[in-house]
Each structure stands twice: as structure tokens, then as C-alpha cells.
Amino acid sequence: VQLQAFGGGLVQPGGSLRLSCAASGLTLDDYAIGWFRQAPGKEREGVSYIGRRNGIPVYQNSVKGRFTISKDNAKNTVYLNMNNLKPEDTAVYYCASRIGGPINIWDATAYVYWGQGTQVTVSS
């Protein structure tokens, strides 16, 4: 199983980025995907989650209305569209997969497989 997160970069405040999480060795019908981020000196925090079969999205309060999670089962890829980015969104972003229902979705220990992370820097 492999998750590859990519799409990060440097963007000015108010800008947009789209992160991708390409999965191999598993199918998105069987695994839910979560996006997490970790800023320097801070703990890893959950950002967004998408359910395995129903595809219902969930967002952390800090990104609601700005981030949108979606998935393409045919491409086995999950996307995180990030708009109106703020300096406090600067972090390494990771995607991770888990089985089971939407319980404790912000608990990183509930996720089985992790991508390598992609850096997002929001700065003028």
C-alpha cells in the first residue's frame, strides 16, 4: 500500500492550492482518507476527512468554507482544494487512510497508512 501526497508549494495569502493523494494497493471504497497537517513546533492536526463509500466530507472548523475534499474512485485519488489560504495554514500536509466508520476521525492513531507529506507555505 502506498499513498503519495503532492501539490504543495509556496502561495501568497488569499491564494489557492490543490493537493492530491494518489493511492495504490487499496481502493477508496474500502478506506476512508483523512488529510492532516503539522506546522513546526505544533502537533499534527486533522484537517479534512472523506468517507469510504458515502464520500461524506468533514472539515476542521479552521478550514470550513475554504477547503474542499473530494475523491475520484476511478483514479484512486483524493483531492484537497484549498482556497483563501492564510499564513496559519503553513504546514506539511499528509494524507492517511483508515478502515471503519467516521468515529474519532481526527485521531491520527486510527489511520493505518500515511503518505510522505507535502509542504504548503503561505507567505507574502
Residue 55, pLDDT score: 87
CB count in 10 Å sphere of residue 100: 12
Residue 94, pLDDT score: 98
Residue 11, pLDDT score: 98
Strand partners, 10: 121
Residue 68, pLDDT score: 98
pLDDT along the chain (124 residues), means of 10: 96 98 93 96 96 92 98 96 98 94 90 96 97
Question: Any idea what the Cα angle at residue 13 is, between residues 92 and 35, rounded to 5°?
Answer: 30
Cβ proximity of 119 and 89 under 8 Å? no
Q: Which of 42, 9, 24 is nearest to 97 (CA)?
A: 24
Q: Which of 62, 13, 31, 12 is nearest to 21 (CA)?
A: 31
